[in-house]
Structure 1
């Protein structure tokens, strides 16, 4: 059983502890799921999480704010039990984050569907030539009578190919660079939208390259105002970057649990690995990294929930440290398993593959370092 004493920290309220306990019980009964058909697994997870009521936390009801501590607790718990379940939950939140924060009443009808598991959402920002450099976005949105015409390409889009609704970012040209982007709500059945490629990665989940060949959207699809796309994207990432750290934290806790179980196992020659001081040293380092990551993640979440308009520095620190630390904790856990650590199908082997992408998506680690450095220098 993973350490849950952190729930007594002053970051949390009674409702957070009750949410954590309810989700823990649900996870024990329903996770992990069969990953054989990843698309089907994700559809099933979204439906199940919606039916259980947990997806209501993925978006904000009208007039309310997202509770980032709840988002982080959910992602940490799901990731500890089954990283694919974390992915399914996270994309419902990230995918519709722009609508939660900036959407009109009409656009929020989609949010009602994603928060109940009746629709799957996606966040379409990355392009072949614009990953961490959002200002280089090339997808073009041109004015038409009563709407917009979008042409371009997006890649590494999570839920690409199974999403019902996309939030997509395109260049509308109000100013050069980041100031000339806008955000749009795009249903998956739009004419001109196609899945050009399904992308296979080391920890499989639905991922695709999308092609937009003259997709026509009405004016009502515009989220916010023209030229506010970069601000919208960064506001969404401000909320969801700490939750990436939370997911990494959940994986690190699972790895530490697996390592503890392994080193207590009796050995043929007598004693156990846990008897050796060098092993104890590794476990100590792992435990420190887990707690330090938790403090940074929940500081960022608490700060946002307390009303801070932006938590860019705190979010960057949480994502950077938690994802990098989790990679180290999982690597140490695998090492303590010896040959069994690299055997396909073991928990630590799966975690080793699952953690790697978290150091890249929603702003790679080096991007977070730049964000933090600018804050410090400023």
Structure 2
């Protein structure tokens, strides 16, 4: 990979993004409720033109966005990333109808997306997922569901089903034309062009898709579909964030299974599968777990098994709106309180119109998405590491100890130097992986795995050292490092644990390594000779 550095315009953009996160996004994040989707924050990301860039930018720009936002507001970074993770399969593999309905709403922040791959018994081994997609008989009674605005009946596919353009047949992130969903075109150029007036940063309409382009139900309140998927008993006094309507204990949507249904790690586990309903419809049955934005998302990219026993070749990706009957969910309380939950599928109806990509080719959809987002998970980690390093520099330069400043102690200054060294190395590997993705390089899986592995492990190291050098003050609730200490742990697990990344790197190294000729040894009375075999 050719050595490179960021252009001055890119560096300026990163500075603007950090200011944007601190001045406009962090106040909204602080008003949000922990463990719930912050719809006001998501909407602001759309207003500021950041969400549309998920579909018009390359992988390097995605990394720059995530790193810059994470430095000042991890909640904003996570909200942006989850929109991209859940909606990228629709952007890259969806039909024109699917794209027209959902991408404008994702881009302006009125619809929340989610990526539903993990299961209680299929985490790192994603190919082992068992959510069943079972065929539904042609003469099955009408389920009474509105099939994404197609009249509410299971039947033959709509005319546009499967009619994908060549550009949608598995393109790379940077390979799509710079015209976002609905034909909106990225302004590009200067920071002012991206964010509009007001010091060149904060124009309210920069990059947005126009109102009325959303293909969802007319006049639907933001979060209405997501409210239908929630059930269980939220904590007392919990309020709805942003435009979401307030949840209540035991609430379910129309057509949902009984509110008392349990899901999550402690419940009885049913493998998730898609059973075919004739030649064009299936019923999804089983569970998903550890799904970010669940159970409050408005739609889910769901991966289900359509061909039993076929491993990764028997998985299909479906776009499942949150208001489908039989789909319920439960929030999970995690170490770092993000919106995350478990989903239960009780014969949820889907048709060929809901397929993303091709039947039995969904694993490719998942891996294409992860190859893009793994380097940017590394960028998120680099942003947190840089924030911890900056805090440590300020603290050790000002803190009096042993008749001088902490920075005067070699034991301290050498640790700070090591933190900076590792952070910069991780940053460069992330940028290199993103640049390789944008260039369509053949070694993207290896580079993406290396970038995520090194950056997430580095961030854990740097944040831990920062806490140690700050002492007890860093462990007080509300301190920046206390927040980062909880945030930094999960990226080493999600979107492929560190152990999985090492396995990918090793597999790719051996796959591309020239195989030496084998040798057979023949022993005779006189001598031992070797022949190439």
Could you tell me the TM-score, scaled by structure 1's length?
0.92
Higher helix residue share: 1
Task: Summarize deviations over 1:165-213 as a string: whole Å, max 9, x none.
Answer: 1000000107611110000000001100001x21111110111110000
Could you tell me how far apart the structure 2 residues matched to 1:336 and 1:266 are?
10
Aligned to 2:213: none
Q: 2:77 aligns with which of 67, 74, 86?
A: 86
1:284 counterpart SS class: helix
Q: Which runs of 5+ in 2 are unaligned?
A: 134-274, 512-533
2:489 counterpart SS class: helix
Cα 1:124/1:266, change in 2 over 3 Å: closer
Aligned to 1:76: 67
Q: 2:121 aligns with which of 125, 129, 145?
A: 129
Aligned to 1:264: 397
Aligned to 2:103: 111
1:16 positional shift: 3.3
Cα 1:220/1:310, change in 2 over 3 Å: farther
Q: Which moved more, 1:20-29 or 1:252-261?
A: 20-29
Aligned to 1:6: none
**Is the CA contact (8 Å cut-off) linking 1:11 and 1:299 kept in structure 2?**
no
Could you tell me the TM-score, scaled by structure 2's length?
0.66
Q: 2:38 aligns with which of 35, 38, 42?
A: 42
1:36 positional shift: 5.3
Task: Summarize deviations over 1:196-243 as a string: whole Å, max 9, x none.
Answer: x21111110111110000110121100111111111101100000000
Aligned to 2:221: none
**Is the CA contact (8 Å cut-off) linking 1:75 and 1:86 kept in structure 2?**
yes
Could you tell me how far apart the structure 1 residues matched to 2:85 and 2:5 are?
23
Could you tell me how far apart the structure 1 residues matched to 2:493 and 2:38 are?
21
Aligned to 1:173: 307
1:11 positional shift: 4.7
Task: Summarize deviations over 1:315-365 as a string: whole Å, max 9, x none.
Answer: 000000000000000000000001112112111111010000000000000
Aligned to 2:130: 138
Aligned to 2:438: 305
1:39 positional shift: 5.5
1:250 positional shift: 0.2
1:186-205 mapped onto 2 (5 Å cutoff): 186-195=320-329, 197-205=330-338
**2:298 is the counterpart of 1:164:** yes
Aligned to 2:55: 59
Task: Summarize deviations over 1:6-63 as a string: whole Å, max 9, x none.
Answer: xxx8354565345324322311312422165136662121100001000012234xxx
Q: Between Structure 1 and Structure 2, how many residues are aligned?
A: 364
Aligned to 2:484: 351
